């Protein structure tokens, strides 16, 4: 046998086979011994990733935040004690939807994108009023669908938020609920906000102009001479209604009370906070500015056309600046303040903010804000807090959650059609109506006693 054959025979014998098996097993054992931690490492990475995601979710959704009744700021008085007794929502825990309701950003985003869920469609009549400068103001009038709790004729005069009108879902939901509680509702359509109503003068709504709201209120007073008024303002509308009531004492005649929800009280103070990235306010500022630009540009011919008699301070260059504006302050400075002839943005914000008028309001006034409202900086809330500590007619209501005009309620995921805000405003109005009825009855009783004596 050759040497080659001997080597081949030796490589294929029983001893060689056993040695190969042992060698292969040893190699596998060595590989396992060298990398025993790999499965544990991979599991650790997965656990860390899951933990990080859960941490972000908990922080973003604010899941650890407790639910509680709103913080209340008021002076002890007969009125405040009556309200605490007659308005359970003031002392009851506000419970937003469990999964996302504690996030002010999500509450605000849902309000901004869809307004409300399963919003009703109340039937109303649109009214047109020609203003002294040729502008055509409109509002929608909705008659009550039930008898009022005290049997009186009461009209809610409502001013919506920035660039809003009666067709917005949150307004429709609130109006429907108020109608079913016996209230007539008049809802202002901000000048230029309705896409199907053309401007008839080179002017549109501004931050604090009360002309259109005042015209609507005067129409209601003249058409329904026996009615009493409940004044309601949402966001920018809250600034307008408070400024309107404080402008002159005559504006408070026949007014039972006023409710302002989610306003900022001072545009001059707010402008600095609105340029900060804290709570994403700069991003919200950009989005609202973009929406305002679209509305203004949709009325370009009425506002900037060659045939239009524009305000002297409004120039063609302002239109080019409008295209590049990325904040509400830039739009206000280049366009909005010039509708009313203000010389500077500072002057415009000082004169148009309701802060300087609040102390002139003598009817019961409820101011509502959410502590997690991403649009209203907490420093602005010192204004209603300070006012409520000085005036018996003022109550400031501050729930932990609600965002900006959100205030959704629900169990876990899906919100209810009616919000905490809708219920609170109507409940407060009912309580004030009852308060006034009780005062009238006490006055009548005292008069009878005096006559008998």
Does any domain span residue 318? no
Q: What is the CATH number of the domain that holds 389?
A: 3.40.50.1820
The reported pTM is 0.86
pLDDT value of residue 18: 47
Does any domain span residue 337? no
Does any domain span residue 281? no
Does any domain span residue 298? no
pLDDT value of residue 8: 41
What is the number of structural domains in the chain?
1
| C-alpha span between 168 and 157 (Å, rounded) | 16
pLDDT value of residue 24: 56
Q: Which one is catalytic: 103, 201, 235, 327?
A: 235
pLDDT value of residue 306: 73
DSSP string, 4-26: HHHHHHHHTSHHHHHHHHHHHHH
Residue 43: CB atoms within 10 A of its CB come to: 10
Based on the residue annotation, tell me whether 404 is a catalytic residue of this protein: yes
pLDDT value of residue 374: 95
* Sign of the alpha-carbon dihedral angle for 358, 378, 230, 163: positive
Helix (H) / strand (E) containing 435: helix 420-452
Based on the residue annotation, tell me whether 43 is a catalytic residue of this protein: no
Does any domain span residue 62? no
Instruction: Name the token pair of 49.
Output: 């990733």
**In a structure prediction context, what are the per-residue pLDDT tens digits for the chain, which is 453 residues long?**
444 444 444 444 445 454 554 455 555 555 544 555 556 655 666 656 665 555 555 566 778 888 899 999 999 999 999 999 999 999 999 999 988 999 999 999 999 888 888 899 999 999 999 999 999 999 999 999 999 999 999 999 999 999 999 999 999 999 999 999 999 999 999 999 999 999 999 999 999 999 999 999 999 999 999 999 999 999 999 999 999 999 999 999 999 999 999 999 999 999 989 999 988 999 999 999 999 999 999 998 888 877 777 666 667 667 888 999 999 999 999 999 998 889 999 999 999 999 999 999 999 999 999 999 999 999 999 999 999 999 999 999 999 999 999 999 988 888 999 999 999 999 999 999 999 999 877 765 555 455 555
Based on the residue annotation, tell me whether 373 is a catalytic residue of this protein: yes
How many C-alpha atoms does 403 have within 13 Å on its Cβ side? 27
Does any domain span residue 440? yes
pLDDT value of residue 64: 82
Residue 231: closest CA among 223, 246, 222, 437: 246
Residues in the chain: 453
Does any domain span residue 283? no
| C-alpha span between 452 and 448 (Å, rounded) | 6
pLDDT value of residue 4: 42
Side-by-side strand order, sheet with 394-398: 71-73, 394-398, 365-368, 255-261, 228-234, 154-159, 184-189, 136-142, 125-130
Alpha-helical segments (H) within 353-419: 382-388
Q: Which one is catalytic: 140, 176, 372, 373?
A: 373
Domain span at residue 207 reads 75-266+353-448
Residue 70: closest CA among 86, 88, 84, 90: 90
Q: Which own/partner pairs from 334-337 qualify as long-range (CB within 8 Å, at least 24 positions apart)? A: 335/296, 336/206, 336/207, 337/206
Q: Bridge-partner residues for 258, per DSSP?
A: 231, 365
pLDDT value of residue 108: 93
Eight-state DSSP code of residue 34: H
């Amino acid at each position: 046998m050759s040497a080659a054959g001997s080597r081949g025979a030796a490589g294929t014998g029983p001893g060689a086979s056993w040695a190969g098996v042992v060698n292969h097993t040893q190699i596998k054992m060595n590989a396992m011994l060298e990398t025993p931690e790999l499965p544990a490492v991979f599991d650790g990475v997965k656990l860390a990733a899951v933990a990080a995601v859960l941490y972000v979710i908990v922080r973003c959704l604010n899941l650890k935040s407790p639910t509680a009744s709103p913080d209340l700021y008021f002076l002890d008085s007969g009125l405040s004690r009556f309200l605490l007794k007659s308005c359970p929502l003031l002392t009851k825990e506000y419970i937003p939807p469990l999964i996302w309701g504690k996030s002010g950003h999500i509450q605000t985003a849902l309000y901004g994108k869809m307004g409300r869920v399963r919003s009703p469609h109340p039937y109303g009549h649109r009214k047109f009023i020609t203003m002294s400068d040729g502008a055509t103001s409109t509002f929608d009038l909705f008659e009550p669908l039930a008898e009022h709790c005290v049997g009186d004729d009461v009209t809610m005069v409502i001013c919506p938020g920035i660039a809003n009108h009666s067709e917005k879902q949150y307004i429709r939901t609130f109006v429907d609920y108020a109608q079913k509680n016996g209230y007539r509702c008049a809802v202002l359509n901000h000048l230029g906000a309705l896409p199907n109503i053309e401007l008839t003068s080179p002017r549109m709504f501004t931050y604090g102009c009360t002309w259109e709201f005042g015209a609507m209120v005067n129409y209601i007073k003249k058409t329904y001479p026996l009615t009493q008024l409940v004044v309601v303002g949402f966001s920018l509308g809250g600034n307008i209604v408070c400024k309107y009531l404080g402008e002159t004492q005559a504006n408070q005649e026949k007014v039972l009370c006023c409710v302002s929800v989610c306003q900022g009280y001072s545009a001059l103070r707010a402008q600095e906070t609105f340029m900060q990235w804290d709570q994403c306010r700069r991003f919200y500022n950009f989005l609202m500015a973009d929406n305002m630009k679209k509305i203004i540009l949709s009325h370009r011919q009425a506002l900037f056309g060659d045939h239009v008699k524009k305000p002297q301070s409004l120039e063609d260059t302002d239109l080019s600046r409008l295209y590049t504006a990325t904040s509400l302050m830039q739009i206000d400075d280049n366009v909005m303040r010039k509708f009313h002839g203000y010389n500077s943005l500072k002057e415009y914000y000082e004169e148009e903010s309701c802060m300087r008028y609040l102390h002139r309001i003598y009817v019961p006034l409820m101011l509502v804000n959410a502590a997690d409202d991403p649009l209203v900086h907490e420093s602005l809330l010192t204004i209603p807090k300070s006012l409520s500590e000085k005036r018996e007619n003022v109550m400031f209501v501050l729930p932990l959650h609600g965002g900006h005009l959100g205030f959704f309620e629900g169990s876990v995921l899906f919100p209810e059609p009616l919000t905490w805000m809708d219920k609170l405003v109507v409940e407060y109005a009912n309580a004030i109506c009852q308060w006034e009825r009780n005062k009238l009855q006490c006055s009548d009783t005292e008069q009878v006693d005096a006559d008998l004596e």
